[in-house]
Amino acid sequence: MARWEPNAPQRLARAALTLFAERGYDATTVNDIAERAGLTKSTFFRHCNDKREVLFLGQDVMTARLAETVRAIPPETPPAEVVAAVLDAVGVFFPSEYRSVSATRATVIAAHAELRERELLKSAELASAIESEARAQGRGETAARFLAAVGLLALDTAYRRWIADPDGRSYADHAGAALEEIVAQASELPDAARARRG
């Protein structure tokens, strides 16, 4: 019987991030990650299919949380309020003490094509979760796709600004600012549409 390994996903992710930063992604093996985490190779493969996946452990939890959040919102709720709820829902994943780790993770991902590809897939999964639930509410194709695109833009903007903030403001602060900026940009669309119609 395999012995229980407490916090194995977190240990693997921390070990992988450290090794990727120290040695580079290509020079790091699954064995290296498992050994640095104090775990076995078989434990690694219980949680990840390959080393590309190790920095994305917990993705399913975040995706499910976004889906549940949109599902719980009344269909008549304005788009800005839906996006605000989406931003609030992921705030729990980004406490202030995780900022430094998140910044390192972003740097490591940016430096390696395989990880950038996986990050794009993660973004697509988050957008799909929002769109699917919006469609299920009967919002219509365009409205659902709009919510997914704007939600993803808000999430990405808030996250990037949060990890780069030298003043240490919270994720919630950046999420609020990102939403305000997006709403301000969107408010100009009706004028542009009227101008096109002449």
CATH 1.10.357.10 boundaries in the chain = 58-197
Cα distance between residue 3 and residue 23, in whole Å: 30
Q: Could you say which architecture CATH assigns to the domain 8-54?
A: Orthogonal Bundle (1.10)
How much of the chain exceeds pLDDT 70, in percent? 92
Q: Which CATH superfamily is domain 58-197 in?
A: Tetracycline Repressor, domain 2 (1.10.357.10)
Per-residue pLDDT band for 3 (boundaries 50, 70, 90) equals very low
Q: Of the ranges 80-84, 132-136, 144-148, 189-193, which one carries the lowest mean pLDDT score?
A: 189-193
What is the pLDDT, as a whole number, of residue 194? 59
Is residue 83 pLDDT above 70, yes or no? yes
What is the pLDDT, as a whole number, of residue 186? 85
Cα distance between residue 195 and residue 187, in whole Å: 14
CATH 1.10.10.60 boundaries in the chain = 8-54
Is residue 161 pLDDT above 50, yes or no? yes
What does each C-alpha distance from 182 to 38, 91, 116, 152 come to in angstroms? Answer: 44, 18, 25, 11
In 3D space, the residue among 99, 79, 103, 81 whose CA is nearest the CA of residue 91 turns out to be: 99
Per-residue pLDDT band for 197 (boundaries 50, 70, 90) equals low
What is the pLDDT, as a whole number, of residue 29? 96
